[in-house]
Structure 1
Amino acid sequence: MAIFVVSDIHGHARAFDRALELAQPGSDDTVFVLGDMVDRGPDPLGVIDMVRALPNVRVLMGNHEEMLYESLESGDERDKLTWHMNGGYTTYEQLEQLPRDRYVDVMDWLVNLPTFAVVEVDDHRPSAARGDRRSYLLAHAGVDAPRLRASLDALGVSHSEAAGYAAATPDELLAAMIEQDVNDLLWIRREFWSMPTGLVGTSGLGPVVVAGHTPSISMPRFASLMCGSGVDEDLRGVMVEVGCSRDTGGVADRVCIDCSAAAGHPSGRVGIMRLEDRRVWLADIEEGE
């Protein structure tokens, strides 16, 4: 069973469908969707339908799902205007056209989405030793790394310069993630991408954080130690590993999987990554999509 991750589809159902066709997750694989399914693009509810139809799917909340629910729940025109200014108008129109029972079903599903997940996978990257396993922390925007380290320390997790927090079990990582502020999990940006997490040691071992939220084409404004520029030779969004340094044994401690779908054509893409080997499949957003 493999673990796939995707984030920030932003209503681009056709590109998402093509990305799935390229990656071809099997019925025994798990697909994690790290939020921001809605807004910006032309078919947000189409994306939600596709996501919910996937076998073994796990979905996290993004800041756009939070804006959607809070603006409709409050009924405040200012909240609704803020949401619409952030690309929510098409989502609002599609929701308004739903039958009442379908509307309630979608809203109940959205509001109950979790804000983080922890997975552990076999590390099949060429640089990994046989039998290596790696924990990944999944959240829409990122984590408050100092707070996370403090939580792990309070749990008595062993830490060293060489191994980082590689000794942390998935259950311990989940317990530490519970202590995160939800606003950080949904909205954090510069504080997360600009500084090492301190989770990975000089041996290259330790948990890696996977997040979206910040479009790859904008990453140079926020991140340091990027492994690439955030775009390819055609200036289209790509996934970006961040944090490779001597302190991490040359291993990225963060991965941005937001391939800038929010920008639409011509720079936006929807990307899917398989965590075991970090293979990536990218689908361009075509004109009119």
Structure 2
Amino acid sequence: MIYVTSDLHGYPLEKIKDMLNKVGFSNDDFLFVLGDVIDRGEDGIKIFKWMMAQPNMELIMGNHEAMMLSCEFLFDEITEESISNLTGSKLDLYLNWEQNGARPTINALHSIIPEEINYILEYLHEAPLYETVSVGGKDFLLSHSGLGNFDKNKKLSEYSNDDFLWNRPKIDDRYFDDVITVFGHTPTIYYGEEYKGKAVVTDTWIDIDAGASYGFSPMLLRLDDLKVFYF
């Protein structure tokens, strides 16, 4: 079975493990995490370290991981003094990340050794912007935020990083007719109170950001039968 989740935002690791246990997730299954593991919640770095040890899990880049990588210059020495001495473009990049909820991640990075930080950075650098998979006779495109500036005649290689990381589709936007696009990034409550904590399913795309950063539990989508699990 192939599962997808998104926008964990530091959701407690033990609860993530419980979530997977409840659906019978095993070594024969696979999990895609559509970005935004870190920031806003508790310790997303702990989730990274756990995912890195799992051969049947893959991270797809989210905008919060991209913001962390844009501040890679911080990680030689993460101290309050080094942060306060930032200027120019580096300060702008840091402030953008911090204003988007970076503080829990920075605090977590304070507590681990540089070698571990380097392993995490390597892991993030290897994360793709999207994946395409075929399951149960259906084709899927998995990305963090859908596809910005969508044109069905464009190749995926022609989209910018921001198109995969920062897009917020409107409820009546359409993607490919023969591919189901699965993404997070936009908490589903944005589409109306009736979607609070639930998936938004259209005929061409599915949004699975349940709003963990707003206190809701993440959801799991099983691609094999399009069943959604709420916790």
- Which bracket does the TM-score occupy, shorter chain normalised? 0.7 to 0.9
Q: Which runs of 5+ in 2 are unaligned?
A: 75-85
- Partner of residue 194, structure 2: 229
CA distance in 1, matches of 2:146, 2:4: 14
- Partner of residue 187, structure 1: 166
Letter in 1 for 2:174: P
Q: Is contact 2:145–2:168 with CA below 8 Å preserved after alignment?
A: yes
Change (3 A) 1:14 1:282: farther
CA distance in 2, matches of 1:178, 1:24: 36
Alignment of 1:115-264 (within 5 A): 115-122=129-136, 133-144=137-148, 146-147=150-151, 149-151=152-154, 176-190=155-169, 193-197=171-175, 199-200=176-177, 206-220=178-192, 229-231=194-196, 237-242=197-202, 252-264=203-215
List per-residue Cα deviations over 1:45-64 (Å, max 9, x = no partner). Answer: 12112322333212100000
CA distance in 2, matches of 1:238, 1:61: 22
CA distance in 2, matches of 1:238, 1:196: 20
Residue 145 of structure 1: CA displacement?
6.4
Q: Is contact 1:15–1:270 with CA below 8 Å preserved after alignment?
A: no
**Count of equivalent residues:** 216
CA distance in 1, matches of 2:42, 2:195: 24
- Partner of residue 271, structure 1: 219
List per-residue Cα deviations over 1:108-161 (Å, max 9, x = no partner). Answer: 111221100000011xxxxxxxxxx110000000014643x113xxxxxxxxxx
- Partner of residue 122, structure 2: 108
Q: Is contact 2:65–2:124 with CA below 8 Å preserved after alignment?
A: yes
- Partner of residue 128, structure 1: none
Residue 238 of structure 1: CA displacement?
1.4
Letter in 2 for 1:139: S
Q: Which runs of 5+ in 1 are unaligned?
A: 123-132, 152-175, 201-205, 221-227, 232-236, 243-251, 284-289
Structure 1 vs Structure 2 CA RMSD: 1.8
**Aligned sequence identity (%):** 29
Residue 77 of structure 1: CA displacement?
2.2
Q: Is contact 2:130–2:143 with CA below 8 Å preserved after alignment?
A: yes
Give secondary structure in 2 for the equivalent of 1:68. helix
Q: Is contact 1:7–1:33 with CA below 8 Å preserved after alignment?
A: yes
Letter in 1 for 2:214: A
Alignment of 1:51-70 (within 5 A): 51-70=51-70
- Partner of residue 280, structure 1: 228
List per-residue Cα deviations over 1:74-133 (Å, max 9, x = no partner). Answer: 7622321221121110101111221111111111111221100000011xxxxxxxxxx1
Letter in 2 for 1:185: F
- Partner of residue 49, structure 2: 49
Larger radius of gyration: 1
Q: Is contact 1:31–1:57 with CA below 8 Å preserved after alignment?
A: yes
